Structure 1
């Protein structure tokens, strides 16, 4: 599990019995750090959760381990925030503004969560399901109906 945790850049996180969401993350020490909130990625329920399920992928792109995590929300005034938040901000791709501005925005409106493996067994190897576990796409406000073309066939000019 330690090797998968060190290499993690993307994780699938589910809270309670909800669906798993793919989130980008930063591996630092023995934990994964995930940012969620307005203007950042969606991870419903993670900001206030105490536990979550985390699935990590291997070099081949498939899942290699699933484990239970203890979730802790970082306090913007705490010492861990000053150490970790700039590291997470540096990892954030296509961030609007500087890393310092990003950390300031996270302090006021987003959640930076620390996910640490909880005591208990992790599911890996042959214990993982054989199927894909694929689900149909979820409803989202980001979709829109496509318009039909004005004309279906080419019109000849005379």
Structure 2
């Protein structure tokens, strides 16, 4: 697929977009797992009040998208151009109902969901491939896992009870 900048998407990126249900998206911060809908060679993500939280994505112009397989392993990471679709535009009128129809566990019909998204200021973003996917040496070698957050719920673990003392020689 070729976008307006003349960049040709790779077959791997095209294929993972077609099969996507969840994508790990980073818009300047840590990557978060987001529900997405594949449409026209791009991923469409809804975030905002009453929907999923996507920190920084509503105002971003670029993001990193990581697609994972059924067992959690990374398939591909690619840069994306983020385009916000605004209520009242022609794109909104075509995309929002399609995304609402694919929305699982939605309360009410799709038309009501689209109206709620517009009224509550939810962000409907299109993530379009915008460069070569990261591969080989460009992929991070670490786990990319975030360290656990500080919490008051954490306490020191007690030593286990022993009925008798074990002697060591």
TM-score between both structures, scaled by the size of structure 1: 0.80
Aligned partners of 2:98 and 2:123: how far apart in 1? 15
* CA deviation string 1:53-72 (max 9, x = no partner): 11111244311111111111
Larger radius of gyration: 2
Compared with structure 1, are the counterparts of its residues 80 and 137 closer, same or farther at alpha carbon in structure 2 (3 Å cutoff)?
farther
Residue of structure 2 in register with 1:83 after alignment: 94
Q: In 2, Cα distance between the equivalents of 1:43 and 1:138? A: 19
Task: Sort the Cα spacing of 1:7 and 1:125 in 2 relative to 1 into closer, same or farther, 3 A.
Answer: farther
Structure 1 unaligned spans of 5+: 146-158
CA RMSD of aligned residues (A): 2.2
Residue pairs, 1:60-75, within 5 angstroms: 60-75=71-86
Determine whether 1:21 maps to 2:32. Answer: yes
Moved over 6 A (4+): none
The within-5 A match list for 1:123-134 is 123-124=134-135, 127-134=138-145
1:93 maps to what in 2?
Answer: 104
Q: Is the 8 Å Cα contact of residues 50 and 70 (structure 1) preserved in structure 2? A: yes
Instruction: Extract unaligned runs of 5+ from structure 2.
Output: 1-12, 154-169
**Closer, same or farther in 2 for the Cα pair 1:35/1:130, shift >3 Å?**
same
The 2-side partners of 1:110 and 1:35 are apart by 7
Q: Does 1:50 align with 2:58?
A: no
- In structure 1, how many angstroms separate the alpha carbons of the residues matched to 2:101 and 2:125? 16
Shift of 1:90: 1.3
What is the CA-CA distance between 1:38 and the residue it aligns to? Answer: 0.5
Partner Cα distance (2:30, 2:53) in 1: 12
Offset of residue 123 of structure 1: 1.0
Identify the range of structure 1 (90-99 vs 41-50) with the bigger mean alpha-carbon deviation.
90-99
TM-score after normalising by structure 2 = 0.75
